[in-house]
Chain A
Amino acid sequence: MRHPIASYTVLGSVLLAALVVPWLSPYDYATPSWDALDLMPQWADGHWFGTDDLGRDLLVRLMWGCRISLLVGVLASLTSLVIGVGWGVTAGYAGGRTDAWMMRAVDVLYSVPFIPFVIVLTVIFGRNIVLLFVAIGAVSWLDIARIARGQALTLRQREFVEAARVGGMTSAQIIVRHIIPNLLGIVVVYLTLTIPTVILIEAFLSFLGLGAQAPLTSLGVMIAEGAAQLRSRPMLLLQPAVLLAVIVYCCNRIGDSLRDRFDPASLQDRGSGHG
């Protein structure tokens, strides 16, 4: 597959805009402005996307939404990377009965409905953005664990691992120095496919009112707000919806192409079933 240059460009532009626009704009995402309620898009005041029902600049809010979505996407994916690689490498390197039991646990967890648990978690422990990405990361590490385990299983039979063992390295040292660096490449490729999934979960929770809390916003929050005012101002829904779709599309596209490039063994298309 060719490099999806368009996707890289678009995603890069969105990222850049999300970083730069709130910083350049005279408006911020939180302060209501009572003389600028529900403005249509206009050039005069610099409200290029108009304002919402509290007079807050929509462009700035959208860009903050992107920041939060991407931040949660990356941080939650990193959480799942740490848990997944830790679990998978331990299982794969240990092998035998330990491996069997650890992977059996992963199989069991695969059929646990996680979204309800994340909902319960966020309800119980308050709507804290840090907790949110830890919770999402904690439930999306299973794929990574399987891949890391498979890699560790083959890596541990390679000569350089044997040499390290003969040289007197402990298992922990071998795992950290030799196994993990060698499987990180393929794992990171799959991580690019975790990011869009995680972004969608965050938006889903925010849509239900369980994600980012006012005045902070995220694309999911803005979609929920827009859906509520659908009849009067459909743009309020369409703007964040299009932005979310574009981000997730580009991430998926990039992830797909990286996977096809670096992991020719798995051309199969695995579906991950979330809404």
Chain B
Amino acid sequence: MGAFLLRRLLTAIPTLFVIVTLGFLLLHAAPGGPFDGEKAMLPEIRASIEAAYHLEEPLPLQYLRYLGQLARGDFGPSFQYRDTSVNELIAQGLPIDLTIGGLALLLALLMGIPLGVVAAAKRDTVWDRIGVAFSLLGISIPVYVTAPVLVLVFAVGLRWLPAGDWGGGAWRNLVLPVVALSLPYIAYVARILRASLADVLHAPYIRTARAKGLPWRTVILRHALKPALLPLVSFLGPAAVGVITGSIVIETTFGLPGIGRFFVDGAFNRDYTLVMGVTVLYGVLIVAANLVADICYAWLDPRVRLE
């Protein structure tokens, strides 16, 4: 187990390396620097600011310096928010993203798994058709549509819930963002589980279980469900990516101060260090999600040895 973890962590390094390098090159290829928007500066002042941020150094040197910083877990100072480090901004924003993203994934599993089981158990009936149609609809309607519509119905129309704002993480403020973010994932989870469960139900050991006289309910819940969950586990990686991009929209729509907002603002204002920091963080989150997925996979499927 230890060796497996170590090897997985080692293979994550090239991924992070690609992210950092690509991001660094792109941002420095950008025309215009972070301080162009300011009112005209004396050349001396400009030079000293740029020296403070090491912007006058040759690119390879800046790159190495940045890698060195990252290795120490330091994302550097933000260009846009003076006197604030990117680490501090991330520390402010990340809990919000983790709360919303985590709750959304949880809700997706809680709703999607039963839906998928029902669709697979009642395969080729009307229920199945309806379920398939709805889950395809869920995938086809993106978060930036469902979020405003939910606001319209539940905040503007019915006035049950606030239309936005973090509100210190009160549950009333959380409901709409979490539901909006989770809807497509409920659909994905149901779809994936329906397909894999239908596959598993053709296996000989299921026929054996049926032949023993076990009722369908027991066969599905006790015998078929666990192996059928495997594809769902591998979906965890892509789901993490989706929740991250989705949370950018959610934060914009609901006015939440998460890192997605910082990211979009930073990209517009050429806040190199902030954009890079968030991108690297996203990469780390995705790598971590994939790692967790692999561990769960091995735990669920004893045939996969953690070697």
Contact = CB atoms under 8 A, between A and B. Distances in A.
B246 A275 contact: yes
Contacts of A108: 14-15, 18
Given A113-B282, A117-B279, A123-B268, A231 B156 contact: yes
B238 interface: yes
A117 B22 contact: yes
B140 A249 contact: yes
A115 interface: yes
Contacts of B286: 111-113
B142 to A, nearest CB: 5
A220 B143 CA distance: 12
A267 B199 contact: yes
Interface in B275-301: 275, 278-279, 282-283, 286-287, 290
Contact of A256 (B136, B141, B242, B275): B136
B144 A220 contact: yes
Interface stretch (B58-66, B168-176, B203-211, B248-256): B248-256
Interface in A221-245: 223-224, 226-227, 230-231, 234, 237-238, 241, 244-245
Given A115-B248, A123-B268, A227 B253 contact: yes
B263 A268 contact: no
Given A111-B286, A112-B283, A273-B238, A248 B140 contact: yes
29 contacts: A108-B14, A110-B237, A111-B237, A111-B290, A113-B244, A113-B283, A119-B267, A120-B27, A120-B275, A123-B270, A124-B26, A203-B142, A204-B142, A208-B249, A208-B252, A208-B264, A227-B144, A230-B156, A234-B152, A237-B145, A237-B149, A241-B148, A248-B141, A270-B192, A271-B188, A271-B191, A275-B144, A275-B181, A275-B243
Interface string B212-244: 000000000000000000010001011111111
A23 B197 CA distance: 49
Given A108-B18, A124-B26, A223-B144, A269 B192 contact: yes
B19 interface: yes
A45 B181 CA distance: 40
A254 to B, nearest CB: 11
Given A109-B18, A120-B27, A207-B144, A253 B136 contact: yes
Contacts of A244: 141-142, 145
A72 to B, nearest CB: 15
A171 interface: no
A227 B188 CA distance: 25
Nearest to B19: A112
Q: Which 9 A-B pairs have the closest CB atoms?
A: A273-B238, A275-B246, A273-B242, A269-B195, A227-B148, A248-B140, A249-B140, A113-B282, A124-B30
Given A113-B283, A208-B264, 17 more contacts: A108-B18, A112-B283, A113-B245, A200-B142, A208-B252, A223-B144, A227-B148, A227-B253, A230-B152, A231-B152, A238-B149, A241-B148, A273-B235, A273-B241, A275-B142, A275-B143, A275-B246
B18 A112 contact: yes
B267 A274 contact: no
A204 B243 CA distance: 14
Given A237-B149, A275-B246, A252 B156 contact: no
Interface of A: 108-113, 115-117, 119-121, 123-124, 196, 200, 203-204, 207-208, 220, 223-224, 226-227, 230-231, 234, 237-238, 241, 244-245, 248-249, 252-253, 256, 267-275
A153 B148 CA distance: 47
Interface in B135-175: 136-137, 139-145, 147-149, 151-152, 156
Contacts of B263: 116, 119
A224 B248 CA distance: 14
Q: Is the interface of B mostly helix, strand, loop or mixed?
A: helix
A109 B19 CA distance: 9
Nearest to A219: B145
Nearest to A122: B267
Given A200-B142, A204-B144, A117 B149 contact: no
Contacts of A268: 195-196, 199, 231
Nearest to B141: A245
A120 B268 CA distance: 8
B283 A241 contact: no
A271 B245 contact: no
B264 A271 contact: no
A220 B244 CA distance: 19
A79 to B, nearest CB: 18
Contact of B239 (A110, A111, A248, A273): A273
B29 interface: yes
A230 B190 CA distance: 31
B2 interface: no
Contacts of B149: 237-238, 241
Nearest to B12: A111
Nearest to B30: A124
A232 to B, nearest CB: 10
A226 B27 CA distance: 32
B152 A203 contact: no
Interface in B1-54: 12, 14-15, 18-19, 22-23, 26-27, 29-31
